[in-house]
Amino acid sequence: MSLFVGQLSHEMHTNELKGIFEEFGRLNRCELKSGSRADFAFLTFEHERDAEDALHSLNGKEFYGLKMNVEWAEEEGPDQADLKDVLSVVNMVTLLEIVLEKGTGIVVPLQEEDIATPEAHQGEGDEVIAGAQAQGNIV
């Protein structure tokens, strides 16, 4: 059985995470992923009982100032695995809802740098939204 571990500090390294969880049993998988606010991980134990012990012991424990969130991971089917690959790319794109003259639309920034504070330059075709500036494609 697999665990999802959320609210991990960007300072946490894979080997450190493995060491914390291997105290409960042998791991078959430990994937640490970067998130915008906090990192997260997927871990698979060889034995379900070990995963259950880790979940109950480590959920809410604080590491690097963040309380780790440990829960059962949802099982992936083939379609979900493909969707996960697509979403990992989509995760890099921030969507901003804007109100256009003729209704509501969404700005899809082309790059992270296309979202700036109001102090940043405002180019042609940019939209100012709630004090932030966004450049991108309106869809």
DSSP characters for 43-62? EEESSHHHHHHHHHHHTT-E
Whole-number pLDDT of residue 93: 42
Kindly report, residue by residue over 48-83, the tens digit of the pLDDT. Answer: 999 999 999 999 999 999 999 999 998 755 444 444
Q: Classify residue 93 by its DSSP letter.
A: S
| Strongest mean pLDDT among 1-5, 50-54, 71-75, 106-110 | 50-54
Q: What is the pTM of this model?
A: 0.55
